[in-house]
Every structure is written in structure tokens, then in C-alpha cells.
Amino acid sequence: MTFRNVSPGDVISGGARFVHAGLKGGEIVVTYGKPALVKSANLATQAASWGAQNPILATCAVVGTTGAVVLAAPGLATAPIISSMGFTAGGIQAGSAAAAAHSWIGNIAAGSAMSVGQSAGAGGSGLVIVNGAAQLGGAAMSVGSASVAWVKAKL
């Protein structure tokens, strides 16, 4: 990339404008950041207080929200789990839990949990099964926590 007809004065002028914009941004943060931080801290304190007074409902809220996230985006939960077990795109990772299980099992039968794990790790059709199971669990978490909260409200 070449720059034609750019003088050192142009570079210095542009740099000065950039620094000035940064300073102006800093003034905005100082002006509006502190009230926002105070409001956030107050909201967090109120939420913690409510959670301490209503531990069952707070737990239901956390579990229900987690279930809804897993239902909507199961890969957020399944990808780290599959990877940590040792199922990777290149196959089973040496020294992993999956490698230990594979050495204990020996030959892997088609359709087994181990073959589904291998397929899921490689991004194959096993991923559909694993994500579907996670979504089923997420739905159960959401419905179950809503049910517990409803029963708690009725008692």
C-alpha cells in the first residue's frame, strides 16, 4: 500500500484530531459513566437482595434462563463439553477421556454413544443428536423451573 501526496503535516494533523476525539470521548465517559455505574450497582444490589429473600424463585429464574439459552443455542453448551471430553474435528484427542474410553471399549460399533461423540466432535450428524439432546434438556429446565415457580406462587 502506498500513500501519495501525504505530507508529515497531514499525518500530524490527523493524529491530533484522533487524540482530540479520544479526549472528548473520555469526557463523555466521565460525565455519563459514573451515573450509569451507580445505577448498575444499585440494580445489582436490589437483585441480590431479592434473590436472598426469594431463593427458590431466584434459582428458578437462573435455571429457566439457562434452559432457554440452551434451547435457543445448544452449541454454546455442547461444543465445550464435546471438546473437553476429547472429541475433536481431527478425531479423538490423545490422552483425553475419550481416548481412555476408546482404549477400554476397543472397536466402536456404528450408532453407539462413542461413535455419536466422534461424529459430533467432527461436526457430523452426531452433532445433531447431541444438540437435540441438549435442547431437550434445556426445554425440561425451562418448563421444570417455571412449574416450580408456579407451585411456589400458589403455596
Q: What is the pLDDT along the chain (155 residues), one digit of tens a residue?
A: 555 676 666 666 666 676 666 667 777 777 777 788 888 889 999 999 999 999 999 999 999 999 999 999 999 999 999 999 999 998 899 999 999 999 998 888 888 989 999 999 999 999 999 999 999 999 999 999 999 999 988 88
> Which pTM does this prediction carry?
0.67
Backbone angles phi, psi at 74, to 5 degrees: -65, -25
